[in-house]
Structure 1
């Protein structure tokens, strides 16, 4: 986070809450064009996929109050995971260069296109 963001948050930010990943959420002290300004200070590298779903809606102007952390967890809900692209934990399908580069042969009904 830049010095400007820290200074703006110190002067104009009102703390709203923190998620379980340590990201801190703020709202502006005054309205800007009749809208409330909302923002997040990330814990670690600034990556938008680190924002859990319950906070995503609030950040994007949802009129509901900010999450409290006591929201019920439904059995069908998965645990939030940030985007892992570019890390060693990223998904790599069979045949990917970093997974050996060999994939299973295509089925017998596959014929590659050959130009005339």
Structure 2
């Protein structure tokens, strides 16, 4: 949820540019009082930066002059997944202490380096 100050600033100076499929709203300043206009997002629900889609991320960071929504999503693009680090659903690689601490033995294609003791 946005702070009261952000909501007031948006109400007074903001101009709605668009929304993403998740319901996040993207704004810019109405006036051109700066060489580079401010751009910001008001999240629907929990404020989490990873919820900004790539099309809008480029616009927010002044990489593109307009949102890339017109291009549309490609069939190979995955839908958003929240950052699960620190939660019970976080990814733990095989052998991680919290994932049991066991992993499969090496398959024999690994040869450890051994220093030459004759020197």
What TM-score do the two structures reach when normalised by structure 2? 0.76
State which drifts further: 16-25 or 49-58. Answer: 16-25
Give 1:34-53 correspondences, 5 Å limit: 34-53=35-54
* CA radius of gyration, larger in: 2
Deviations 1:9-63 (A, max 9, x none): 1111111111111211111111243111100011222221110000001101134
Aligned CA-pair RMSD: 2.5
Runs of 4+ in 1 over 6 A off after TM superposition: none
Residues 40, 21 of structure 1: alpha-carbon distance in 2 compared, 3 angstrom cutoff: same
CA distance in 2, matches of 1:63, 1:73: 17
Question: Which residue in the other structure is 1:58 paired with?
Answer: 59
Cα offset, 1:110, TM superposition: 3.6
Residues 63, 41 of structure 1: alpha-carbon distance in 2 compared, 3 angstrom cutoff: same
CA distance in 2, matches of 1:83, 1:55: 18
1:26 maps onto 2:27 in alignment: yes
CA distance in 1, matches of 2:73, 2:47: 26
**Consecutive unaligned residues in structure 1, runs of 5 or more:** none
Cα offset, 1:111, TM superposition: 6.7
Aligned equivalent of 2:111, options 100, 109, 112: 109
Question: Which residue in the other structure is 1:10 paired with?
Answer: 11
Provide the aligned length of Structure 1 versus Structure 2: 112
Residues 5, 48 of structure 1: alpha-carbon distance in 2 compared, 3 angstrom cutoff: same
Question: Which residue in the other structure is 1:87 paired with?
Answer: 87
Secondary structure in 2 matching 1:5 = helix
**Consecutive unaligned residues in structure 2, runs of 5 or more:** 115-119
